[in-house]
Structure 1
């Protein structure tokens, strides 16, 4: 098969690119390893808890044993379905802090990636129910809805932000990207608005647009330094998708470096160790792996106001019927509707911790979830110092790659998460929680010293599902792509997904990934970028 563009991966970035390129009249082939997103539970927001560990929709990787977290193999779910992780994630829409992008521009010599260059794409891409203003857009393809669940614990969390001094924000994607706030989520009309729904569905109606599901990519075909196409297997048959213009790799922060290395593009020593002939030596492929490590703070609730009743069959039936009737109620929620961006201690330029708050404790036991009468604050460290790598396990594309995160290998990361546990405890101790506060469940009530809390973090911290950075952009010798996401040293090949981020941003990664893909479409099409724009923020002088 032949088309002008071949996109590897129908995840968040791949869906945006397919839409933009086909809209411009080009023929596009998208190769996706997973199935179509037809399962109903994908589209019911609360259904995230039944789909996100489903092996039919998820690569279900595990990280390598990591000494920083006491040798544990931290889970590493990755979407294996049309829409990618945007079809199985918790739908939190957060751009990150403006200073994150300004750091990209300054530290990595990428002036076109400062926040003023990115904000117009964020605004154009969203349809926020908050309405359009200086910071937000309301006419884009992606449905973005402010959390609206009514629950006294959510009200208590909001008040605690004020009385604790940690602050409040009316919109973390707006004027004040700091403090406790109602979070935005990618839903529209009570349904998940994944990248597949927002971007790929319109594209599939166009002539020249082709989606191939169940396609396992083996390698990118490179001839004399030019990417010509992609070799993949489909139901046991080897096939090729040839590109007359470009091959675009959008397989995500774990699989994009894997595909490059299988194609002979990467560190020479590693390629040789697996018997892969080096086509182009690029030492940065798979390096610079980053993630948001998260730790839970859990407090028992003395009143029946939590969502643990969802365990009861009759409650689930009632909630499901309500959603079928008007797309409302708890089933239209992702549960994590409250959160915040806060400072662990003075001295940071912008918040270094993130909360996700739920009026329940969802305890995971494999694929099963048990709900408890408690509230949960999931605390992320936003800008880790530790770095890891994505390595090949073998030259077989069906073998999962080896993700070595090196969590907490830098002691500063551990201290910031200990600070985060203390900040969560500070919030839970505020008077707004007095009518509800029971015993502290996690960490245990006897954990009080920094050493106790550090041990708790090492034993229990896990991923918040935000890997990035493994094909980072830049101009130095470890950069994989340039500022327009073209692979260094190979023509007609780009990488467009979270792997190109030089540093992880301060928030969830789906919104930034969509923005990156939207910008990449203009690069590919040769269109002038949107004019830079940056309104005033509360932290400005």
Structure 2
């Protein structure tokens, strides 16, 4: 399979910044995504001069990004895309069996697959990130979900900081949310924040006796849900962001909630940043776009007990990072330094550990090998990388199933705890991971249930420097299923078997028979011999699972844990004036989708930082 390489056009650099330029702020925040964008806005609204630095540009008025329905185009768009080519294991031959390996053919195209042409250069498994104001909230599918209470309480158990208790974390959602799908007054939600939330149309579920409704009925029964109403849309009435008792143990159907308004326009951290900049109150926020942070600066003082971060060094210009498909080899930009009382890194699970390591904070041996002066030997930087496992069951029906999405969070019978462990959404789409030009469109008869595994047990991945050049990308290895992999694979198989059985409810309709493409190829219920045992499906998922929710590479941890990078207030251990506030801070992967949990994390960091500075939490004004 071939795909055109995105053209490397000459890019006009951002306005040159003089190497002599310097400025001092109260705070510098690096990265404008779900962690950094809201935090920088909040700090400025509290009256602190804040510099927000973003490597990408602003695409908030571009419909490819502003309209949530265009998320597939957004994730493929070279205007913002950073391509990380990752590994799933230490076994190179195993990784080569991933069906969507990407190769550079050398003739202006990509080859996608397992039988590349002679001379093609292996790139790896694509993991796209978004370099743009608003970060990856600008190219994702906009799905809103929350972590289990246990995952918030884990921080309490690790650090003793009771401010992380789940009921206390709930308030941050109500502070940031502007709910558009429930009547005002619901105590579990907010209505005056910057993050708009809405739900989709369930009209398709009102039609009686369609194939899709038959499948829906069977699915509901399979997870213990029933409805006395002939209007099956009532099955979706539970609130996926609700705060009901035993919510984490209750399997249910839901109407998917998106961080978008009711008309389908994305609601993102970039919107909050821009509204802060435009506010008549003239909050002291400065935004620098197309600016690549190359390292953190530290004081040379010999009177302080530990190194203190005092600013950052940057390189100005567009497409300077080599993950950018528009990067022109050899391109550099003018260098500047900016200073602050405190530096906050919010570059995400790949770039935050990279920036720390480039600045001398990380495992001593790794840094010394590359000639980087060690500021603080911190072995956990870049370790503990985790992600949700994602997989799917995909089939082609005889006729189209005219339906929307069936969304559910449920527990498989073999889950490790009493909590739900699978987030799934089913409908007439295909999604099989990431590669240039994804996804494959199998036509109007395609039908898929995509799954996100909640609570993956491995978290054995790493982000390691390849060179000391800040324009180079790091080596990223997730080491899928390395720890307790058999248990995680068994949970994915159990979920797939349940979902497959629900499709058989349409056996007597004109949409049947279904031809399953994977993981059990053949007619649904009559698979190719040997392809559909639990062991065969587990092997399929071991090779073909993918991911897009990287977290935990600068994780919060216990004082006695040598791999803990942050304390419970997001402070980098062993240095002063430096924090990390993004998804890399989570000790474990937070639920099924980390985008809203990271926004909640950002709001908590706001409160912690302002409390330390002696100010009350800022009231949001949007």
Normalised to the residue count of structure 1, the TM-score between the two structures is 0.87
Quick one: distance in 2 between partners of 1:171 and 1:522?
27
Alignment match, 1:213? 289
Quote how far apart the aligned CAs of 1:349 are.
2.1
Alignment match, 1:367? 437
Match among 140, 154, 157 for residue 106 of structure 1: 157
Alignment match, 2:20? none
Whether 2:565 is the aligned partner of 1:480: answer yes
Quote how far apart the aligned CAs of 1:353 are.
1.4
Count of residues in Structure 1 that have an aligned counterpart in Structure 2 = 500
Whether 2:60 is the aligned partner of 1:71: answer no
Quote how far apart the aligned CAs of 1:96 are.
2.0
Alignment match, 1:172? 240
Quick one: distance in 2 between partners of 1:342 and 1:122?
23
Q: 1:165 to 1:119 in 2, by over 3 A?
A: same
Alignment match, 1:241? 338
Quote how far apart the aligned CAs of 1:202 are.
1.4
Alignment match, 2:456? 384
Whether 2:212 is the aligned partner of 1:130: answer no
Quick one: distance in 1 between partners of 2:435 and 2:455?
29
Quick one: distance in 1 between partners of 2:157 and 2:215?
36
CA displacement 1:480-533 (0-9 Å, x = unmatched): 111111111111111100011011122211100000001101111115679xxx
Alignment match, 1:471? 554
Alignment match, 2:195? 142
Whether 2:356 is the aligned partner of 1:356: answer no
Match among 253, 271, 280 for residue 367 of structure 2: 271
Quick one: distance in 2 between partners of 1:450 and 1:351?
21
The unaligned stretches of length 5 or more in structure 1 are 308-334, 531-541
Whether 2:378 is the aligned partner of 1:282: answer yes
Pick which of 384-393 and 169-178 moved more.
169-178
Pick which of 55-64 and 262-271 moved more.
55-64
Pick which of 220-229 and 56-65 moved more.
56-65
Match among 72, 81, 100 for residue 49 of structure 1: 72
CA displacement 1:53-110 (0-9 Å, x = unmatched): 2232121112125257921443211111110000000000111222322233225544
Quick one: distance in 1 between partners of 2:214 and 2:616?
47
Larger proportion of helix: 1
Match among 560, 567, 576 for residue 491 of structure 1: 576
Alignment match, 2:311? 229
Larger radius of gyration: 2
Quick one: distance in 1 between partners of 2:170 and 2:263?
26
The unaligned stretches of length 5 or more in structure 2 are 1-22, 97-123, 206-210, 226-234, 302-306, 318-332, 522-526
Q: How does 1:238-317 map to 2 (within 5 A)?
A: 238-243=335-340, 245-306=341-402
Quick one: distance in 1 between partners of 2:551 and 2:566?
14
Whether 2:126 is the aligned partner of 1:30: answer no
Quick one: distance in 1 between partners of 2:345 and 2:146?
23
Alignment match, 2:121? none
Match among 579, 590, 602 for residue 517 of structure 1: 602
Alignment match, 2:30? 8
Pick which of 252-261 and 175-184 moved more.
175-184
Quick one: distance in 2 between partners of 1:473 and 1:460?
30
Query: Is contact 1:112–1:483 with CA below 8 Å preserved after alignment?
Result: no
Normalised to the residue count of structure 2, the TM-score between the two structures is 0.76
CA displacement 1:378-424 (0-9 Å, x = unmatched): 11221111121111111111111111100011322222222232232
Q: 1:522 to 1:511 in 2, by over 3 A?
A: same
Quote how far apart the aligned CAs of 1:361 are.
2.3
Q: How does 1:325-364 map to 2 (within 5 A)?
A: 337-346=405-414, 348-362=417-431
CA displacement 1:443-502 (0-9 Å, x = unmatched): 213221112102221332111x11101111122322111111111111111110001101
Quick one: distance in 1 between partners of 2:360 and 2:563?
17
Alignment match, 2:532? 448
CA displacement 1:182-214 (0-9 Å, x = unmatched): 110011142433433442111112343111111
Q: 1:65 to 1:135 in 2, by over 3 A?
A: closer
Pick which of 6-15 and 450-459 moved more.
450-459
Pick which of 280-289 and 55-64 moved more.
55-64
CA displacement 1:266-302 (0-9 Å, x = unmatched): 1101111111010111111111100011111112233
